[in-house]
Amino acid sequence: MDLTDKRALITGGTSGMGIATARAMAEKGASVILTGRDETRGESAAEEIRAEGHDAQFLAADFSEMSEVRRVADAAGEIDVLVNGAGFAALGPTVDTDEAAFDGLFQINVKAPFFLVAALAPKIAARGGGSIINISTMVASYGQPGMAAYGASRASIELLTKAWAAEFGPQNVRVNAVAPGPTLTPAMEPRLAMATEFAKTIPLRRIADVHELSDVITFLATPAARLHQRRDHPRRRRPPRDLRTDEMSLVAPPGVRTRSHSAARSRSCSPATRTRRPGCGPVAEITAPSDAGELRWDTSERGLLTDTAAIHDGPEAGQLRGRAVLISEG
């Protein structure tokens, strides 16, 4: 998990999860650039990282202004990692949420990261690829009273994460989101009672420490996470008409075992639909040791990638598996 010679931009990087992530990445060898609104706190945070023998820079910025977003994108220069950590939380009932609060949420939580990615993803690709990590929240995935606008803004960034993964993945730019549950940060301290109640709804039944999250974010920035890419595939969709069942090849490191088999029969995979419905064609799988390198499907051929995932149980635990479905003319 090495980031030597990498440059990382961490927005909202002067406190809480942001500064913990900046320190963790700096310890892995990255040169880090922090952004934040408080210039005194930001310069102090960067100086603390430099005092530990690492390279750190602070850029004062208020992302409520698009001119500031553009200035940071220009000032950051060439980077390998972008962490969209700057965020704004305005909580309250829908009927009490005014237009200014709503616009502020979407400006900082959605619009600013959108245009940062637009400006910086091509630069990351030009350096050979890298990683973009977006910070979301657990309430982006389900409705919660008093968090309608905030949850919607974070759900937006999760959808953008999936779209960017599809858009920039072919350029070797990985895009993922981290959606923390209740985490002990300075911003959370005034809402500690609420966080404690939220913690009761998650499996660990406790509030997280910022370092537990910064370790995950840092891992996603490293080459060790090269197979982690956030993209959901529809269960069913009509394929383009030029796809054929007999054209797919697997590309894997030497010595990797591959196998293929037919899809299981079901009502949705009846003889009348097997050649037309995605997921009803022959299936090919590939399994490799976790250190074997990247598994991919040859894009010059005609396969629909459905997933690549780690295997956690059974005799193949610790390995990686990719799976694709051959699809036919629509």
For residues 122 and 236, the model is more confident at 122
Encoded tokens for 222: 């490293």
Q: Which of 266, 269, 287 is nearest to 328 (CA)?
A: 269
φ/ψ of residue 79, rounded to 5: -130, 165
In the prediction, which pLDDT does 283 show?
42
* Higher local confidence (pLDDT), 89 or 302: 89
**Residue 208 pLDDT greater than 90, yes or no:** no
Cβ–Cβ under 8 Å, residues 103 and 152? no
Average pLDDT over residues 156-171: 95
Q: Which domains does the chain have, with CATH numbers?
A: 7-225 (3.40.50.720), 250-326 (no CATH)
Yes or no: say if 17 and 85 are a contact pair by the CB < 8 Å rule.
yes
Confidence band for 180, pLDDT divided at 50, 70 and 90: confident
> Which residue bears the tokens 């005014």?
98
* 222-266 tens-digit pLDDT: 999 888 876 554 443 433 333 232 323 334 444 444 444 333 333
pLDDT at position 241, please? Answer: 34
Choose the catalytic residue: 150, 164, 168, 219. Answer: 150
From CA 248, how far away is CA 306, in angstroms rounded? 13
pLDDT value at 308 more than 80: no
Structure tokens at 292: 């074997």
Residue 129's pLDDT is what?
Answer: 96
Indicate if 142 belongs to the active site: no
3-state helix, strand and coil shares in percent for the chain, rounded to the nearest 5: 35, 20, 40
Q: pLDDT tens digit string along 57-88?
A: 999 999 999 999 999 999 999 999 999 999 98
β-pair type (183-184, 7-10): unpaired
Q: What is the pLDDT of residues 47-59, one digit of tens each?
A: 999 999 999 999 9
Q: Which of 105, 158, 135 is nearest to 10 (CA)?
A: 135
43 alpha carbon, distance to own chain's centre:
28
pTM of this structure: 0.69
How far is Cα 86 from Cα 109, in angstroms, rounded to an integer? Answer: 7
User: What is the reported pLDDT for 132?
Assistant: 97
Comparison of pLDDT for 307 and 182, the residue scoring more? 182
210, containing H or E segment: helix 210-221
d(CA 69, CA 121): 14
Closest CA to 75 of 34, 112, 106: 34
Closest CA relative to residue 229, chosen from 299, 169, 311: 169
- 258, 277, 278, 234: which is closest to 319 by C-alpha? 258
Average confidence (pLDDT) over 176-196: 76
Mean of the per-residue pLDDT values of the chain: 76
- Beta strands (DSSP E) in the chain are 7-10, 31-36, 56-60, 81-84, 130-135, 173-178, 183-184, 208-209, 250-251, 257-261, 283-289, 296-297, 303-310, 319-326
Confidence of residue 307 (pLDDT cuts 50, 70, 90): very low
Q: Which pLDDT score is estimated for 262?
A: 36
pLDDT over 60 (residue 213):
yes
CB 7 within 8 A of CB 26: no
**Token duo for residue 2:** 């090495």
Using CB atoms within 10 Å of the CB of residue 244, give its burial: 0 to 12 exposed, 13 to 18 middle, 19+ buried: middle
